[in-house]
Amino acid sequence: MLVYKSPQTLTSTGEVMTESLQSHYDESHEDYLLLTPGPLTTSPGVRAAMNQDLSTWDCDYNDRVQWIRSALTKLATSASGYTTVLMQGCGTGTVEATIGSVLSEDNRLLIIANGVYGLRIAEIARYLGIKHDVLDCGELGETSPEMVRDRLQSDPFITHVVLVHCETTTGRLNPLPELAQVVKEHQCCLIVDAMSSFGGVPIDVDGLGIDFLISSANKCVQGVPGFGFVVAREEALAVCAGRARSLTLDLYAQWRCMEDNGGKWRFTSPTHTVLAFQQALKELDEEGGISARYQRYRDNHRTLVDGMQALGFKCLLPVESQSPIITSFYTPDHPAFEFKKFYDLLKAKGFVIYPGKVSKAPCFRVGTIGHVFPKDFERLIAAVKDSMYWLSEAPATDSLSSCPEKVITA
C-alpha cells in the first residue's frame, strides 16, 4: 500500500507551512482568483504537489496512476464492472477519443445539444465520419425526456446517445437521471460528457446506466490541465477493439496498456499534472467527498446570485435549470457599458470572470468552482459594486437589461 506525504509549502522566510483545506482565499496566490469553469483556482497543496520530477517509466509513478484510476472509479460508482482510463491532452480530446473509439461504422449516434459543447460533439462526429443525428434544443432551450423519447422512437437505427450534463455555455444542468432513463428504455449505449460536473455534482454511473462518463483533471476535482479521463463499463469498452479512428486517441488501446502494464500510458504523460491530480483527489476526500463539495459550490453560487441580484443583475437561466458550476448574468443595458473595461476593473481587484458564449443573449459568466469559498464571493460582490463605472456616466437608461424594476444608485 502506498503512502504519500502531503505537499509542504515554504513561507517567504523559508519555514514549512501546512496548508488548511478550509482556509479561503490565499492572499499570496498570484494576482487574482480564477472564477471560471476550468482551469480554475487551485489549492496551495495542489500547486505544491507539482514540485517534483518523476519518470513515466518508473513504478512509483505508475503506482500513482493506478491509485488515481481506482479512486476515480470509486467516486463514480460502488458497483463492480467499471474501470477508468486516463487520456493525455485537453478535455475535448478525451471526448473525441471516446466518440471515435466507441462507435463502429454500423452504429448511429444521437447528440443531444443545448449549447456550444453539445454542438462541438456534433462537429467531432462530422470530422470522424460517424453516422449521427443532432437533437438541437437551442442554447436557451430545455431538453426534456419526451423530446428524447420521441426522437429515439422515430429512429430505430440509433445505437448510442451522448449528452452534456452541465452545459457551461449558459450554466445549465441538464436533467441527467430523467434523460438516462429514456436512453436505457431504448437499450442504447449512454455516453455522458460530465466535463464540468463530475466531482462537484453527485453522479451514480451504475445507477443511471451510464456506459461512458467523460471528465477532465482541471474541473470539479480541482486539479490542473493536462489530461481527461473516462469512467467506462468494462463490458462496453471491451468490444471497442479496432474501432478507433486515431492512433493516439484510441481509448481501448490506452485501457489495455494501463491494465496490462500497471498504469503505464501508451505515450508521454503529463507527470506534473498527475501529481497535482492525486493531491486534488486527496483533498476532495478530506473535504468530505463529492456531496460536501457540491454543498460548498451551492453555497458559493447562492452567495454570488444573492449579491449580484442585490446590485440589480439578473440571471440568464431559471433557478430550476441552473447549475452551481457557473452562472450567466445579463449585461447592463447602458450605452457606457463595455465588457472589456468591466473585466479589467475586476481583474485589477483580484478576480477573473468569463465572457458569455451565448449568441442569443448579451451576458457574462462567473464560475463558482475551484478552491474558492463563500467569503471569496462576498469580496467579489464588493469588487463588482466598485466596478460599476457606467452608473456615473450619463446618459443612463434602465440600469440593467431585464431588470427595469431595479433602480441602482451610484
Question: What count of other Cβ atoms lies within 10 Å of the Cβ of residue 233?
Answer: 21
Distances (CA, A) of 392 to 310, 343, 385, 408: 18, 17, 12, 11
Distance CA(297)–CA(326), nearest Å, equals 10
Residues making up the binding site: 365
> In the prediction, which pLDDT does 10 show?
35
Determine, yes or no, domain membership for 10.
no
> In the prediction, which pLDDT does 22 show?
45
Instruction: Count up the domains in the chain and report the number.
Output: 1
Instruction: With a cut of 50, say whether residue 123 has pLDDT above it.
Output: yes
Determine, yes or no, domain membership for 98.
yes
Question: What count of other Cβ atoms lies within 10 Å of the Cβ of residue 218?
Answer: 26
Determine, yes or no, domain membership for 217.
yes
Cell 484510441 sits on residue: 250
**Who has greater pLDDT, 31 or 75?**
75
Distance CA(128)–CA(400), nearest Å, equals 44
CATH number at residue 219: 3.40.640.10
Residue 212 host element (H or E): strand 212-216
> In the prediction, which pLDDT does 31 show?
76
> In the prediction, which pLDDT does 400 show?
53
The predicted model gives 92-101 an average pLDDT of 99
Residues making up the binding site for substrate: 365
Comparing CA positions, the residue from 384, 401, 402, 311 lying closest to residue 348 is 384
Cell 478550509 sits on residue: 22
> In the prediction, which pLDDT does 222 show?
98
Q: Which tens digits make up the pLDDT trace of 377-405?
A: 999 999 999 999 999 876 544 445 443 33
> In the prediction, which pLDDT does 16 show?
33
Distances (CA, A) of 307 to 27, 297, 314, 356: 22, 15, 11, 19
Determine, yes or no, domain membership for 269.
yes
Q: Which three cell numbers stand for residue 228?
A: 481527461
Q: Which of 18-22, 85-89, 133-137, 266-270 has the lowest mean pLDDT?
A: 18-22
Q: Which of 16-30, 78-92, 306-320, 332-346 has the lowest mean pLDDT?
A: 16-30
Q: Which three cell numbers stand for residue 88?
A: 493525455
156 burial (CB, 10 Å; 0-12 / 13-18 / 19+) is exposed
Q: Which tens digits make up the pLDDT trace of 34-64?
A: 999 889 999 999 999 999 999 999 999 999 9
Distance CA(207)–CA(213), nearest Å, equals 13
Determine, yes or no, domain membership for 14.
no
Instruction: With a cut of 90, say whether residue 23 has pLDDT above it.
Output: no
Determine, yes or no, domain membership for 332.
no
Phi, psi of 147 (to 5 degrees): -65, -45
Instruction: With a cut of 80, say whether residue 253 has pLDDT above it.
Output: yes
Q: Which three cell numbers stand for residue 261?
A: 502494464
How much helix, strand and coil, in percent to the nearest 5, is found in the chain?
40, 15, 45
> In the prediction, which pLDDT does 311 show?
98
> In the prediction, which pLDDT does 408 show?
31
Q: Which tens digits make up the pLDDT trace of 304-329?
A: 999 999 999 999 999 999 999 999 99
> In the prediction, which pLDDT does 394 show?
60
Determine, yes or no, domain membership for 109.
yes
Q: Which tens digits make up the pLDDT trace of 164-204?
A: 999 999 999 999 999 999 999 999 999 999 999 999 999 99
List b or e across 90-106, with b for residues whose CB sees 16 or more CB atoms inside 10 angstroms. ebbbbbbbbbbbbbeee
**343 contacts 122 by C-beta, under 8 angstroms:** no
Determine, yes or no, domain membership for 259.
yes
Domain interval for residue 140: 59-284
Instruction: With a cut of 70, say whether residue 21 has pLDDT above it.
Output: no
**Who has greater pLDDT, 2 or 392?**
392
Any idea what DSSP says for residue 221? T
**87 contacts 230 by C-beta, under 8 angstroms:** yes
119 burial (CB, 10 Å; 0-12 / 13-18 / 19+) is middle
The predicted model gives 220-226 an average pLDDT of 98
Instruction: With a cut of 70, say whether residue 77 has pLDDT above it.
Output: yes
Mean pLDDT, all residues of the chain: 90
Confidence of residue 148 (pLDDT cuts 50, 70, 90): very high
Confidence of residue 30 (pLDDT cuts 50, 70, 90): low
Question: What count of other Cβ atoms lies within 10 Å of the Cβ of residue 259?
Answer: 15
Distance CA(403)–CA(382), nearest Å, equals 20
The predicted model gives 213-227 an average pLDDT of 98
Q: Which tens digits make up the pLDDT trace of 361-370?
A: 899 999 999 9
